[in-house]
Structure 1
Amino acid sequence: MTDRREEQVGRWLFEGVEYATRSQMCAARRRRYVEHLEAGMNFTQAARAVGVSKRTGKVWRNGRKRSTGRNEKPSVDWYRSTVDIPRKISSRYLSQDERISIADWRKTGTGVREIARRLNRPASTVSRELARNTNPATGVYEPYRAQQMSADRLRRPKPAKVHTVPGLLDCIRSGLRAHWSPEQIAGRLRADFPDNDDMHVCTETIYQAIYVQARGELGKDVAKALRSGRASRRPHDQAGSRKPRFREPMVMISERPAEVEDRAIPGHWEGDLICGAANKSAIGTLVERTTRFTILLHLPDGHDAEHVQQAVIDKMRHLPRLLRNSLTWDQGSELALHKRISTALDMQVYFCDPHSPWQRGTNENTNGLLRQYFPKGTDLSVYPEDYLDAVAEELNDRPRKTLDYRKPSERMLELINAA
């Protein structure tokens, strides 16, 4: 009996220390687990460090519900570890007052969607809050405990993974020297080390490591390695903080009258440029939405804002007032002087949304037809103005299916005679 007792005592080992009972050994393991969390490890790393699974660590922190209906309380008091540490939480997260309101309303039986409406929050936010932060021991949502749990989940200062895993940074450097992209490096690491999770990183982790090192040890080598040629991350401003496109404020296409969309009233035009080789030359195109009548702008001296606005004014000033209602353009810099066009022609200028060529569908279709006469990759400055006028005349004399096979020139002539 004594020999069996001594044999069993030797089995309860943890970190080189023998314990008399299994419960004492498990208690020491749980204490070490909490110490690792307080030291900055995440849940997965702390669980591995003490030799248990991530799921076991979750049970230690949150408790669990047995199929018999018996609830087990949490076995570690992790969420009390930073209760006295003040944390500044962004307004995008629920505040202490909001959590108190959620708890009060839940006690009165208020539904999740009604609580979300009162807080002006998405219903999913309230539902997720209740699911994550309800006390598993009591089944009750406790607002102060929930607030502390949320604070403890905030990002903790910890070393980057590329500096803690031996060999990982060398693999990343090797890939960059071979001109691999961060995405290719991340994918290759998973292929080369399928059973080693420590060597698996996402693309964003590699980017962060690169840009941090660009300020230190790698310096200009990073700019040479990345295809973008940048050694620092380019900020992506929010829509509300972007600078205006032009000095003069734009009138967007969303403010254009509905009558323009249905093509019921003539005199509404769409404009654009077709560019030549290396964007060094260009021809301006103007298309009337109702008749599909086309006008080409000769730009021999360049297609900057000064030359484009003058070409538009020179070509359109002789049109009857009936045919000068509006002009819709994309947000290209060539129309930065749009106010001059509006003033000289008494015609409103509207701008499309970024990357939305379908909002000028008639003009885009016409540009495609013009490529038969002005192929891509050629120098457009060699074409004289009389040739442009001849091309426009030929295009306007072509029967169009959308006009029941009538010609744009015929429809335009009818409108001018009516005016």
Structure 2
Amino acid sequence: MTSREQPTTQEAVRRIADGQRVKDVALDLGIHPSTIYLALKRHGLPVDKTAPHRVLNPQTNRHIPKNTEHPTTTEAVARVKRGERVKNVAKELGIHPSTIYLALKRHNLPVGKNAPHRVLNPQTNRHIPNTTERPATTEAVTRVNRGERVVTVAKELGLHPSTIYTAIKRREEATDTPTPPGKKGEGNHRCSDTPAPTTTTTQSRCTTTEVPDLSCCSNDSVSSRTADHVVADFSLVPDTRVKTGRGVRLSSTDRLVIAQGIKERLSTRQIGTKLGRHHSVIAREINRGSTTYLDPDTQEIKQLVYNPQTAHYHAQQQARRPKERKLDRPGRLRDVVVEYLLRYFSPKRVEQRLLLDYPDDKSMHISHEAIYQSLYVQGRGSLREIIEEELRQREMNTNKVLIRGGKTRRPRSKIAGLRNRRGWVVGAEITTRPPEADDRRVPGHWEGDLVIGAGGQSALLTLVERSSRFTLLKHLPDDHASSTVVGALQEMIASMPGKFSTITWDQGSEMASARKVIDPAECGIYFCDPHSPWQRPTNENTNGEIRRRFYPKGTDFREVTPEHVAWVQDELNDTPRLVLGAMTPYEKMNEVLTVATTQ
């Protein structure tokens, strides 16, 4: 069933019927000429020979070619008609034999049995095989027709059961006689010992449709998805069975059978047997195509009613391609996704954050894969162009729509844990750190490091809390000597009294005087093993995100203002983290502190 024709297309057809040119009308109304040609075909109006190749021929339902037949092909057809062999003609003229076979088919000339498999049989519209049937297959079909089981025959002859089924089906099509049904449960699910349904004629106001009569079936079992009073509308379009992949979609006639079966109170298994389909296909179709109705007496929603006409229409609408994606149309969802992506949130973070912010609004839910497709798969009008335009307006880097992932860390160093000559590390190794700092349940355990600027002249001090991923940044534009770094650490600890239990650092010399200045009772300082950055993974991941989102490698922090560093700190703490269940570090820190104070 097709959708109603657009008013613009109707206007175009009317103007073409009045004698105007298709090209002029299409340009005037802003539609494609192919749309007008197809509308002319639907209305039964003549189509010009100059129509594009996308227009279908009403008689053959095939595309109208742009070009006429090649002269070489015409000559080949003429020589084959005179009795020459296709193989010799193709070799002499330098064309492929399939080209000649297809031309013979177009001219309604007989095609030999040795035609390649790419040639279609005009009667069955199937490929003509270029090899004869194997003797083993012929023997297998003969034994199955005598009543033997397909599985047993296939095992004895070393064939696959599908080979036998295909051969049986091929003979059935060649003779136009149905295959005798086998025993119940054997082989092909289309074979059954249940009698075939007869047909009754149901008349409606517009059409007369033959509907299979299922009265021969018993009413022993009733599906849970049935209605007592089902009035099926049988005024449907002609049967259209569409092959998709390895299966076949339900046609309009199949849906008529389902509606009649529901009216007869048959189970999904009984209806599936009549249609030769699995019962789960029938159950899903009833579930998709059913609607609720109101009881006229109590005005309450009672049962599901299956309407085959409505179900077939919705099935066709669902099968239309290409489909409109969620982010194709303007709306609140696209605005929120664009805003998150402009903050360099990953699509996975966007997905999880939307689930957290809008738990009951399914219109605001979208998968990260759909976001990736909107960014990279679509062509004109894609989400990527919208984001790039926003980046230009905000004077940001348009080449960085999404940040890339971090690098994979190297295996553990072989010298990790060996005796170290750095005096400030002795006695403060990571192995001496309290065990509660490892499980991330207790807040107050931090990891720190420096992000060095261009030329090693400036730096950015970063501290990350292990349980909440809360981040503190300190701007060091002049130097990153030990006295400067330790002084900055003291200021950061003083800004959050009682929130620091331990700080884990690498063995850099900037922390040489930390244990002498910072009171161990106020905050313990611990150092990782040499070449072991994975011992402070939270800080390493945060530093990598700072590099990717805000300060690329080579940034001179002398040119960065403290206000911008403060903004970066707020942005990091307001970014949803997947490891926190899409919560932000701000929200997680408040939750952790609330739990800690109540215990």
Both structures adopt the same fold (TM-score exceeding 0.5): no
- Asked which structure has the greater CA Rg, the reply is 2
| TM-score, normalisation: structure 1 | 0.41
| TM-score, normalisation: structure 2 | 0.29
Q: Which structure has more RCO (C-alpha within 8 Å, separation ≥ 6)?
A: 1
